[in-house]
């Protein structure tokens, strides 16, 4: 890494630290019952609330999305926290003094995990492959947009019709820190890694401490088992395949593409989990939402930690707020965590008070408060969002039991060990135990639902339930592995016999070891044994493979500041290297990846019409026809490069010089500015 990249890491970390420190008073009020007073959530809370203030300002066009609006949002957040500090400064000072060691430990844990994944990413920082063009395009489009919602970089004249809020948050942090977006993309991945790890550690260590029988060593051990489990562990697919075949033939993505692929069937599914996301590094909605989901679980746990939970609006309004943020970041998780909330509130209530009409009325009222809060939070987003779901139907295939056992064998072991240890000791069961049982229950519901129903989208036949399984089981993984540290420590603690404790400990150690085989293979393979020269620039690959596109993008980013600019470039198929210019600059093009637009718009008609028109503009020799089509899409700049010539035979470039002027040329790449009055 060069000096600029190291400075970028420093500026980014200072930005996160500053946002976290500003948020201390508010966070301490929320999590005063947590170990370290919830310090692990200061950054996540600060990021969510400052970005949301800016989101409101720019959505209602009170301010444009620039550095001024981001710093104004920070300023307002500072004022709120200064007021809180003024009202409760004695308690806050006392809290900091009494928790200084645990706060320092959490910050050290965050810094270690953040730096560790930053270093890992530096050996393969390329923003290329899978859906990285899409994710990076969303970030760059947001950075270029004057107001929110951001413009769709792959469908000019439209705004993004996707759950884009997490990409906006990434852009928000890039604007504040002032670093290059190609570096910011990779640092955001490391940030998610660090926030997720420390958030889970804080939740689980708090839960274990609340049992009242755990030592500091057990509290730390349980927290770290869960934290590392969620962000680094795999499933039983890895040991199964290594036992069946051998180490040399193992291909790490197979752990996420098992059902329908081995053996081959007409039921192709997806069952990804966090480490796979971190390794392949698509900055996708489900990954960006991970720290927000963990914050939601922390807020949900306040239901059993706070007094008079049913009448405490301070519990359900924050839940509704974060639920709304999650809807905008990854809409699937609204449903996932509504199910989780129902399990937690229902089972904990049943344990504490039993079933009665008064209790049911309170639960219903709190559910209404939570949902109304979420709807209010999401209102500016919903007014510009059209759901791409096409209804719900019964699945056309189910997973063979043996494959379910391989993929979800570890969670099954967690559940069984916990229940086997707990059932004979029912008199010692506490509300924290019930909370963990509720999380496990929610996880199993999310596993079973894709075996019964699926949400219809454009992917039919062989892949009909793939997206549903992916989005539901991803969060099931989080719930299971988050619960593991508490379940294991509690199961051992409940045993009186030394021999039984030793047996439980040995079994648990073996289970943990099995799921931690995966990161060795996945990280080692994707990052090529760390042989590449380290860097954080996500565009270095482009400089090596396609220097003409690299220098064109560099020139556009430096010189083309027109907020209304629209590029014309060749429309590409999904997952190809077409549309790199629009993705890397954020300037809208007439049409980008075809199938992605089909998915986002719910119909192939719009992208098909545009694909035909783009082709016609490039190949026609009829200047008037080209002029009409350019006017139709308000094109301001036309790219002619190797990609356009590959995509369309007989490109008639001469007409663009007649309709405008060549403002950039490098080798076989030209950029024309359309100057004729269209």
The region of weakest confidence among 15-19, 264-268, 276-280, 404-408 is 264-268
Average pLDDT, integer, range 315-327 = 95
Domains along the chain with CATH numbers = 3-526 (no CATH), 546-674 (3.40.50)
Look at residue 392 and give its three-state secondary structure. Answer: strand
3-class secondary-structure state, position 568? strand
Exposed e or buried b for every residue in 204-221, given b needs 16+ CB within 10 A? bbbbbbbbeebeeebbbb
- Compute, in degrees rounded to 10, the torsion defined by CA atoms 407, 412, 417, 421: 170
Q: Which of 26, 24, 32 is nearest to 307 (CA)?
A: 32
Q: Of the candidates 122, 252, 126, which has an alpha carbon nearest to the alpha carbon of residue 182?
A: 126
Directed axis angle between helix 466-493 and helix 409-422, to 10°?
30
Cβ burial of 264 (10 Å; 0-12, 13-18, 19+) is exposed
Which pLDDT does position 579 carry in this prediction? 95
Give the model's confidence band at 308: pLDDT under 50 very low, under 70 low, under 90 confident, else very high: low
Tell me the two tokens of residue 164.
Answer: 């884009």
Note the pLDDT tens digit of each residue in 504-561: 999 999 999 999 999 999 999 999 878 777 889 999 999 999 999 999 999 999 999 8
Instruction: Identify which of 220, 239, 234 has the alpha carbon closest to the alpha carbon of residue 485.
Output: 220
Is the predicted pLDDT of residue 427 greater than 80, yes or no? no
Share of the chain above pLDDT 90, in %: 78
Across 360-381, average pLDDT? 91
Between 66 and 462, the higher pLDDT residue: 66
Q: 339-348 pLDDT, tens per residue?
A: 999 999 989 8
pTM of the model: 0.95
For residue 310, what pLDDT is reported? 63
Out of 13-17, 142-146, 301-305, least confident range: 301-305
pLDDT of residue 152 exceeding 70, the answer is yes
Measured CA to CA, the distance from residue 60 to residue 69 in angstroms comes to 12
Structure tokens at 21: 């420190």
Q: Flag whether pLDDT at 479 surpasses 80.
A: yes
pLDDT of residue 301: 93
State mean pLDDT over 625-653: 94
Give the model confidence (pLDDT) of 492-520 as tens digits.
Answer: 998 888 898 999 999 999 999 999 999 99
- Dihedral angle of Cα 612, 616, 617, 622, to the nearest 10 degrees: -150
Strands (E), 25-73: none
3-class secondary-structure state, position 662: strand
Task: State pLDDT tens for residues 19-40.
Answer: 999 999 999 989 988 988 999 9
Any idea how long the chain is? 678
pLDDT at position 311 is 62
- In this prediction, residue 678 has a pLDDT band, given cuts at 50, 70 and 90, of low
Question: To the nearest 5 percent, what fractions of the chain are helix, strand and coil?
Answer: 70, 5, 25
∠ CA 556-599-382 to the nearest 5 degrees?
A: 85
Q: Which of 107-121, 322-336, 420-434, 620-634 has the lowest mean pLDDT?
A: 420-434
Average pLDDT of the segment spanning 240-257: 86
Spatial separation of the C-alpha atoms in residues 406 and 252, rounded to whole Å: 15
pLDDT greater than 80 at residue 480: yes
Determine the pLDDT at residue 591. 96
CA atoms within 13 A on the CB side of 144: 27
Q: Which residue, among 130, 177, 157, 190, has the nearest Cα to 593 in the 3D structure?
A: 130
**pLDDT for 73-129, tens place per residue?**
999 999 999 999 988 878 888 877 888 889 999 999 999 999 999 999 999 999 999
Coil, helix or strand for 312?
coil
pLDDT for 352 equals 76
């Amino acid at each position: 890494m060069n000096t600029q990249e190291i400075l970028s890491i420093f500026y980014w970390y200072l930005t996160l630290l500053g946002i976290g420190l500003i948020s201390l008073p508010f966070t301490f009020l929320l999590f005063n019952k947590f170990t370290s007073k919830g310090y692990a959530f200061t950054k996540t809370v600060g990021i969510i609330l400052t970005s949301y203030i800016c989101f409101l300002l720019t959505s209602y066009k009170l301010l444009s999305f620039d550095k001024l609006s981001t710093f104004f949002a920070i300023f307002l957040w500072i004022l709120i926290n200064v007021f809180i500090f003024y009202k409760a400064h004695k308690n806050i000072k006392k809290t900091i003094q009494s928790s200084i060691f645990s706060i320092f430990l959490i910050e050290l844990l965050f810094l270690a995990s953040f730096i560790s994944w930053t270093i890992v990413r530096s050996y393969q920082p390329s923003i290329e492959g899978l859906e990285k063009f899409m994710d990076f395009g969303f970030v760059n489009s947001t950075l270029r947009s004057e107001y929110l919602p951001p413009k769709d970089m792959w469908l000019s004249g439209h705004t993004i019709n996707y759950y884009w809020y997490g990409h906006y948050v990434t852009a928000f942090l890039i604007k504040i820190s002032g670093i290059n977006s190609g570096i910011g993309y990779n640092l955001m991945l490391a940030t998610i890694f660090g926030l997720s790890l420390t958030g889970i550690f804080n939740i689980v260590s708090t839960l274990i401490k609340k049992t009242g029988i755990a030592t500091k060593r057990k509290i730390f051990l349980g927290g770290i088992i869960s934290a590392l489990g969620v962000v680094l562990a795999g499933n039983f697919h890895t040991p199964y395949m290594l036992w069946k075949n051998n180490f040399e033939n193992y291909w790490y993505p197979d752990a996420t593409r098992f059902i329908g692929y081995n053996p081959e069937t007409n039921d192709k599914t997806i069952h990804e989990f966090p480490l796979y996301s971190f390794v392949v590094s698509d900055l996708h909605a489900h990954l960006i939402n991970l720290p927000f989901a963990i914050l939601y679980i922390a807020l949900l746990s306040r239901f059993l930690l706070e007094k008079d939970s049913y009448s405490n609006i301070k519990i359900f309004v924050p839940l509704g707020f974060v639920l709304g943020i999650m809807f905008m970041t990854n809409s699937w998780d609204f449903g996932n965590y509504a199910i989780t909330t129902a399990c937690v509130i229902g089972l904990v209530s049943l344990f504490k008070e039993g079933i009665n009409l008064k209790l049911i009325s309170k639960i219903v009222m709190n559910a209404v408060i939570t949902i109304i809060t979420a709807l209010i939070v999401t209102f500016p987003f919903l007014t510009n969002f059209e759901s791409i779901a096409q209804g719900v139907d019964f699945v056309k295939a189910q997973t063979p039991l043996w494959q379910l056992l391989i993929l979800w064998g570890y969670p099954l072991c967690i559940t069984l060990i916990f229940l086997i240890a707990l059932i004979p000791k029912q008199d010692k069961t506490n509300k924290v135990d019930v909370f963990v049982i509720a999380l496990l229950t929610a996880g199993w519901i999310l596993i079973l639902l894709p075996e019964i129903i699926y949400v219809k989208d454009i992917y039919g036949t062989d892949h009909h339930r793939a997206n549903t399984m992916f989005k539901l089981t991803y969060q099931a993984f989080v719930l299971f592995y988050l619960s593991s540290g508490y379940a294991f420590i509690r199961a051992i603690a409940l045993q009186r016999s030394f021999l039984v404790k030793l047996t439980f400990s040995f079994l648990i150690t073996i289970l943990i070891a099995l799921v931690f085989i995966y990161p060795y293979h996945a990280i080692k393979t994707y990052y090529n044994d760390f042989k590449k020269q380290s860097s954080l620039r996500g565009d270095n690959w482009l400089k090596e493979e396609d220097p003409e596109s690299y220098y064109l993008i560099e020139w556009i980013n430096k010189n083309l500041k027109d907020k209304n600019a629209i590029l014309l470039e060749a429309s590409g198929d999904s997952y190809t290297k077409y549309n790199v210019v629009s993705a890397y600059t954020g300037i809208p093009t007439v049409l980008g990846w075809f199938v992605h637009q089909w998915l986002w718009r719910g119909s192939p008609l719009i992208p098909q019409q545009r694909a035909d028109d783009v082709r016609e503009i490039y190949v026609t020799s009829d200047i008037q026809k080209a002029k009409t089509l350019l006017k139709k899409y308000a094109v301001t700049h036309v790219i002619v490069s190797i990609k356009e010539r590959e995509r369309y035979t007989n490109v008639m470039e001469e007409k663009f010089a007649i309709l405008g002027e060549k403002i950039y040329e490098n080798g076989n790449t030209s950029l024309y500015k359309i100057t004729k009055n269209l």
